[in-house]
Structure 1
Amino acid sequence: MKKQYNTKAILASLLIVGFVGMFSETALNIAIVNLMDVFQISAATAQWLTTGFLLTLGILMPISGLLLQMFTTRQMFVGALISLITGTLIGALAVNFEMLMVARVLQAAGMALLLPLMFNTILVIYPPEKRGAAMGFVGLVIMFAPATGPTIGGLLIEYLTWHYIFWFSLPFLIIGLLIGLKYLENVTEVTKPRIDLFSVLLSTIGFGGVVFGFSKAGEGEVGWGSMVVITSIIIGLIALLFFVLRQNSMKEPLLNLRVFKFPMYVVGLLLVMMSMLIIMSSMIILPMFLQTGAGLSVFIAGLMLLPGSALNGLLSPFIGRLFDKFGPKWLVIPGLILVTTMLWFFTTLTTASSVAFIVALHVGLMVGIAMIWMPSQTNGLNQLPPELYPHGTAVMNTLQQVIGAVGTAVAVSILTGGMDSYLHSSSAPTQPAEIANAMASGLQNVFLFTVGIAAIGLVMGFFIRRVVVQREVINSPH
Structure 2
Amino acid sequence: MSNTQQVKSGEINIGDLRVVPIIISFVVAGFIGLFSETALNMALTNLIQDFGIHETTAQWLTTGYLLTLGILVPVSGLIMQWFTTRQLFITSLIASIIGTLIAAIAPTFAVLMIARVVQAIGTALLLPLMFNTILLIIPPHKRGRIMGIIGLVIMFAPAVGPTISGIIINNLTWHWIFWVSLPLLIGALIFGSFFMQNVGTPTKPKIDFLSIILSTLGFGGIVFGFSSAGEGGGWGNPTVIISIIVGVVSLVLFSIRQTKMQQPMLNLRAFKYPMFTIGLLLVLVCMMVLLSTMILLPLYLQTSLALTTFAAGLLLLPGGIINGILSPVMGGLFDKYGPKWLVRIGIAILLGAMFGFSTITIETSTAFIIILHIITMVGVSMIMMPAQTNGLNQLPRELYPDGTAIMNTLQQVAGAIGTAIAISIMSSGLESFAPEDPANPLNPLLAFTAGVQDAFIFGIIMAILGFVISLFVKRVKVEHQM
TM-score (norm 1): 0.93
Structure-2 change in CA distance of 1:32 and 1:133 (3 Å) = same
Q: Deviations over 1:206-230 (max 9, x none)?
A: 11111111122222x3332322222
**Is the contact made by 1:293 and 1:435 (CA closer than 8 Å) also made in structure 2?**
no
Structure-2 change in CA distance of 1:146 and 1:235 (3 Å) = same
AA at the equivalent of 2:205: P
Displacement, 1:165? 1.5
Partner of 1:210: 222
Partner of 1:399: 410
Which runs of 5 or more structure 1 residues have no equivalent in the other structure? 474-478
Structure-2 change in CA distance of 1:435 and 1:171 (3 Å) = same
Q: Deviations over 1:120-164 (max 9, x none)?
A: 111111001111111111111111111222222222223222222
- RMSD, aligned α-carbons: 1.9
Q: 1:47 & 1:372 partners in 2: Cα distance?
A: 26
Partner of 1:476: none
Aligned length: 470
Which runs of 5 or more structure 2 residues have no equivalent in the other structure? 1-8
Task: State yes or no: 1:375 paired with 2:386.
Answer: yes
Displacement, 1:238? 1.3
- Alignment partner of 1:422: what SS? coil
**Is the contact made by 1:429 and 1:435 (CA closer than 8 Å) also made in structure 2?**
no
Shifted more, 330-339 versus 24-33: the winner is 24-33
State how 1:9-24 maps to structure 2 within 5 Å.
9-24=21-36
State how 1:352-367 maps to structure 2 within 5 Å.
352-367=363-378
Q: 2:470 & 2:218 partners in 1: Cα distance?
A: 30
Task: State yes or no: 1:3 paired with 2:16.
Answer: no
Could you tell me which of 16, 20, 41 is aligned with 1:29?
Answer: 41
Structure-2 change in CA distance of 1:45 and 1:296 (3 Å) = closer
AA at the equivalent of 1:470: E
**Is the contact made by 2:169 and 2:310 (CA closer than 8 Å) also made in structure 1?**
no
Partner of 1:102: 114
Structure-2 change in CA distance of 1:398 and 1:471 (3 Å) = closer
Structure-2 change in CA distance of 1:157 and 1:345 (3 Å) = closer
State how 1:443-458 maps to structure 2 within 5 Å.
443-458=452-467
Q: 2:438 & 2:421 partners in 1: Cα distance?
A: 24
Shifted more, 71-80 versus 210-219: the winner is 210-219
Q: 1:133 & 1:396 partners in 2: Cα distance?
A: 19
Q: 1:350 & 1:160 partners in 2: Cα distance?
A: 30
Partner of 1:437: 446
Partner of 2:77: 65
Task: State yes or no: 1:263 paired with 2:263.
Answer: no
Q: 2:390 & 2:414 partners in 1: Cα distance?
A: 20
**Is the contact made by 1:280 and 1:408 (CA closer than 8 Å) also made in structure 2?**
yes
State how 1:275-424 maps to structure 2 within 5 Å.
275-423=286-434
Displacement, 1:43? 5.2
Partner of 2:171: 159
Q: 2:292 & 2:41 partners in 1: Cα distance?
A: 15
Q: 1:442 & 1:95 partners in 2: Cα distance?
A: 32
- Percent sequence identity is 55
TM-score (norm 2): 0.92
**Is the contact made by 1:342 and 1:364 (CA closer than 8 Å) also made in structure 2?**
yes
Shifted more, 457-466 versus 391-400: the winner is 457-466
Could you tell me which of 459, 466, 470 is aligned with 2:479?
Answer: 470
Structure-2 change in CA distance of 1:11 and 1:440 (3 Å) = same
- Alignment partner of 2:474: what SS? coil
Partner of 1:79: 91
Partner of 2:234: 223
**Is the contact made by 1:16 and 1:176 (CA closer than 8 Å) also made in structure 2?**
yes
Partner of 2:205: 193
Q: 2:473 & 2:114 partners in 1: Cα distance?
A: 43
